[in-house]
Amino acid sequence: MENIETAKHYQFSIKFKNSLPWLIPVFLILIWQVACNASWVNETLLPSPIDVVTNGVKLFKKGELQENMSISLYRATAGLLIGGGLGFILGFINGVSHTARLLFDSTIQMLRNIPHLALIPLIILWLGIGESAKISLVALGCLFPMYINTYHGITSVDPKLIEMGKSYELSKKDLFTKIIFPGALPTILMGLRYALGVMWTSLIVAETISASSGIGYMSTNAEQFLDMKTIILCILIYALLGKLSDFIAKNFEDIFLNWRVIERGQSNDSKASGNN
Amino acid sequence: MKKIKKTFVSVVLLLWCGIAIYGWHLTREDAGNSSLKNVVIGYQAGDEFYISKIRGQFVKKMKDKGYNVKFKEFQNGAAMMQALASGNVDYARVGDTPPVSALASGTQLTYIAAGGTKEKGSGILVHKNSSIKKLADLKGKRVAYTKGTSSQYMLLRALKVAGLSNNDITWVNLDSDAASVAYSKGKVDAWANWDPSVAQVEITENSKLIVNGKTTGALNRSFIVSPTSYAKNNKSLSKLIIKYTEQDMKWANNNHSKLINKMSTDLKLSKKIVRRTVLRRTYSMQEMNKDIVKEEQEIANVFYDNNILTKKIDVSKHTQYLR
């Protein structure tokens, strides 16, 4: 009897723990809805969540929402692949070669802090107003977090481990695939996680360059005509897409870094996920 | 457990890629007929070229003459001027202030044609129960505007008409979405703006215009501009564009209900707001003439006198009289 009780209790506590991350968002939305129903806020300035969702359903039925979302997803993914890839390569080269580091690093650090909005005129001038302009802006955004983390990951691998590899007479290739890369991987994946976040924020800016499609276009267009329902819908979509990409990145970490989870052993995190 | 997680993530990734590829497919433009000459036209939702686009006749007629028209939508005049400066847009429909600012910053552009005005829908908004009843009451009040746009010109003209100096009011520079919140919350007392936002605020915020373009002389006219080198070499094309848009403007004036329905779905504004906007303006398109150049010159002068522009501009030097 007691066993069943504790099992039940255990299950309950897992369920509770799994729902904990959603508690604040749900709570906020509830308050928001109540505030709208009780007309504490002006509905033209802050439409209720239900209005926002019905507006979303309406746009979905018209086919506008899916189209804009898939176009945005295409731009985001292409930008991430190009920018993230370049960032990884640069970070890798600079991590391994001291000469390359001296040559590239300070330039990249200078470029890193230029705000996207300031770059728009230049990008229009060089790349025009087509898809390539939008994608390159996203790529530029994704490049830096990937670069910094790859570079940092590779340079901060424990030198004792490299020393050990050398004393086992590992070849250069083995040294890299068995020690340096796995050692740098947690930081690199962290960079991917950052890049995924930057990807969405860059996209909003990118989609103000003569766009006639995409979520960023939808929201700037709605801004122009003060269509609060669509503005808030776009904000919610961004939030959800951000959460989704973070979720994927986190799972990447779990899959590729399984040795790390085992090391941690009986930590709370792995217990919870192990019982899902 | 690990396996389930792996399959799950793979499925999500596959879906992601699938949707992204579908998106890529959507962004690909028709290669078009290579024997046709491409003409890129920049427009903003709800303007004259937008009407030509939704009516559909314009593209067909241009195709018959050997031109492949590509419409590019822009969110604001400044971005359109950048695209024009870099030669990515051949013709652009803009308001009356962006070309002046662009000229002052050295962009080589030429005025090709002039559209209608929005004089009845441009002005200074106040709440109906506000203590501001006439222009002179603006003294000491906070007024929202957007720097470098028609709203700044409007406000400068209005102050002149009222006999107030520029220091008599507090100027609050806000983008239109920030201004709408500030206005609704009473953080600013008045708001210089133009249609369709004016119509929207009038209806949703129980507001009215205390002055419009008829009194201030800030007419908020539309223009078609083109890069100078392009305009020089394409006079016959420019004439065609004016001719066909003029026909579309006539159609717009005679088919209000169709236009209002389409606009209200595309702009996501209620029919009531769009109707008010459409009914108080007349759509037109014509070649440039001396009077219109004078209007535009006045904007350049006022902006220069108020240190908004750093360079004096002679509008007539940048105008093509095609008639």
Give residue for tokens 């808030």: A232
Query: In this predicted structure, what is the pLDDT of residue A274?
Result: 38
> A213, A160 in Cβ contact below 8 A?
no
**Distance from A100 to chain B by nearest Cα, in Å?**
34
Between B149 and A78, the higher pLDDT residue: A78
Average pLDDT, chain B: 88
**Distance from A169 to chain B by nearest Cα, in Å?**
34
Contact A276 B85 (CB under 8 A): no
Which range of residues forms the domain containing residue B129?
120-216
Cα atoms in the 13 Å half-sphere on the side-chain side of B208: 10
The rounded percent of chain A whose pLDDT value lies above 90 is 19
What is the CATH T-level fold of the domain A48-274, as seen in this structure? MetI-like fold (1.10.3720)
Residue B28, pLDDT > 50, answer: yes
Residue B266, pLDDT > 50, answer: yes
Residue B261, pLDDT > 70, answer: yes
Average pLDDT over residues A223-239: 84
From B184, B216, B248, give the residue that closes a domain. Answer: B216
From B154, B187, B216, give the residue that closes a domain. Answer: B216
Query: Max Cα separation, chain B?
Result: 78
Query: In this predicted structure, what is the pLDDT of residue A109?
Result: 86
Using alpha carbons, list the distances in angstroms from residue A154 to A2, A88, A182, B42, B210. Answer: 52, 11, 9, 48, 66
Find the residue in A nearest to B28 (Cα).
A131
A111 touching B (Cβ < 8 Å): no
Give residue for tokens 């939030």: A239
A51 touching B (Cβ < 8 Å): no
Contact B86 A128 (CB under 8 A): yes
**Distance from A113 to chain B by nearest Cα, in Å?**
23
pLDDT band at A5, cuts 50/70/90? Answer: low
Are residues B261 and B134 part of one domain?
no
Query: In this predicted structure, what is the pLDDT of residue A161?
Result: 87
Considering only CB atoms, B20 lies closest to which of A77, A209, A217, namely: A77
Is position B264 within any domain? yes
Query: In this predicted structure, what is the pLDDT of residue A266?
Result: 45
B268: chain A residues, CB-CB within 8 Å: 222, 225, 227, 230
Q: Is the pTM of this model over 0.80?
A: no
What is the full DSSP assignment across A181-212?
HHHHHHHHHHHHHHHHHHHHHHHHHHTTSS-S
Query: Phi/psi class of residue B299: alpha, beta or left (left: φ > 0; alpha: ψ in -120 to 50)?
Result: alpha
Are residues B108 and B134 part of one domain?
no
A224 touching B (Cβ < 8 Å): yes
**Distance from B209 to chain A by nearest Cα, in Å?**
18
**Distance from B256 to chain A by nearest Cα, in Å?**
20
Find the residue in B nearest to A219 (Cα).
B75
Query: In this predicted structure, what is the pLDDT of residue A119?
Result: 84
Contact A274 B1 (CB under 8 A): yes
- The per-residue pLDDT for range A39-48, each reduced to its tens digit, is 887 777 788 8
Contact B20 A70 (CB under 8 A): yes
A230: chain B residues, CB-CB within 8 Å: 268
Average pLDDT over residues B254-262: 91
pLDDT band at A269, cuts 50/70/90? Answer: very low
Using alpha carbons, list the distances in angstroms from residue B92 to B49, B57, B79, B112, B286. Answer: 9, 19, 11, 10, 15
Are residues B184 and B52 part of one domain?
no
pLDDT band at B51, cuts 50/70/90? Answer: very high
Are residues B294 and B147 part of one domain?
no
- The per-residue pLDDT for range A10-34, each reduced to its tens digit, is 666 777 777 888 888 889 889 988 8
Q: Which of B186, B218, B248 is nearest to B57 (CA)?
A: B248
Are residues B127 and B212 part of one domain?
yes
Is position B323 within any domain? no
- Please give the span between the terminal C-alpha atoms of chain B, in angstroms, as a whole number: 77
Are residues B59 and B98 part of one domain?
yes
Considering only CB atoms, A124 lies closest to which of B19, B88, B184, namely: B88
- The per-residue pLDDT for range B187-236, each reduced to its tens digit, is 899 999 988 888 988 988 889 999 888 888 888 899 999 999 999 999 99
Average pLDDT over residues B74-94: 86
Between B143 and B105, the higher pLDDT residue: B143
Using alpha carbons, list the distances in angstroms from residue B249 to A110, B44, B218, B255. Answer: 51, 16, 22, 10
pLDDT band at A252, cuts 50/70/90? Answer: confident
Are residues B228 and B86 part of one domain?
yes
pLDDT band at A272, cuts 50/70/90? Answer: very low
Average pLDDT over residues B168-196: 88
Q: Quote the Cα angle for B244-B250-B256, to 5°.
A: 130
Average pLDDT over residues B268-290: 90
Are residues B181 and B46 part of one domain?
no
Query: In this predicted structure, what is the pLDDT of residue A243?
Result: 87
Are residues B205 and B251 part of one domain?
no
From B198, B216, B234, give the residue that closes a domain. Answer: B216
Average pLDDT, chain A: 83
Are residues B106 and B62 part of one domain?
yes
Round to whole Å and give the CA distance between A9 and A223.
Answer: 49
- The per-residue pLDDT for range A182-226, each reduced to its tens digit, is 889 989 999 999 999 899 888 888 887 767 788 888 888 787 777
Tell me which of A4-8, A111-115, A119-123 is least confident.
A4-8
Contact B88 A248 (CB under 8 A): no
Are residues B69 and B45 part of one domain?
yes
CATH number of B76's domain: 3.40.190.10
Query: In this predicted structure, what is the pLDDT of residue B265?
Result: 86
A258: chain B residues, CB-CB within 8 Å: 2
Contact A226 B197 (CB under 8 A): yes
* Three-class HEC string of A124-185: HHHHCCCHHHHHHHHHHHHHHHHHHHHHHHHHCCCHHHHHHHHHCCCCHHHHHHHHHHHHHH
Size of interface A-B (CB pairs under 8 A): 120
Domain ranges of chain A: 1-41, 48-274
**Distance from A102 to chain B by nearest Cα, in Å?**
35
B181: chain A residues, CB-CB within 8 Å: 45
Residue B178, pLDDT > 60, answer: yes
Q: Are strands B142-145 and B91-94 parallel, antiparallel or unpaired?
A: unpaired
A224: chain B residues, CB-CB within 8 Å: 45, 75-76, 176-177
Round to whole Å and give the CA distance between B28 and A131.
Answer: 9
Is position B299 within any domain? yes
**Sign of the CA dihedral running A196, A115, A224, B55:** negative
Are residues B235 and B186 part of one domain?
no
**Distance from B282 to chain A by nearest Cα, in Å?**
21
What is the full DSSP assignment across A21-64?
HHHHHHHHHHHHHHHHHTT-S-TTTS--HHHHHHHHHHHHHHTH
Considering only CB atoms, B83 lies closest to which of A45, A71, A124, namely: A124
Considering only CB atoms, A251 lies closest to which of B5, B197, B268, namely: B5
A204: chain B residues, CB-CB within 8 Å: none
Round to whole Å and give the CA distance between B146 and B134.
Answer: 22
Q: What total of structural domains would you count in chain B?
A: 2
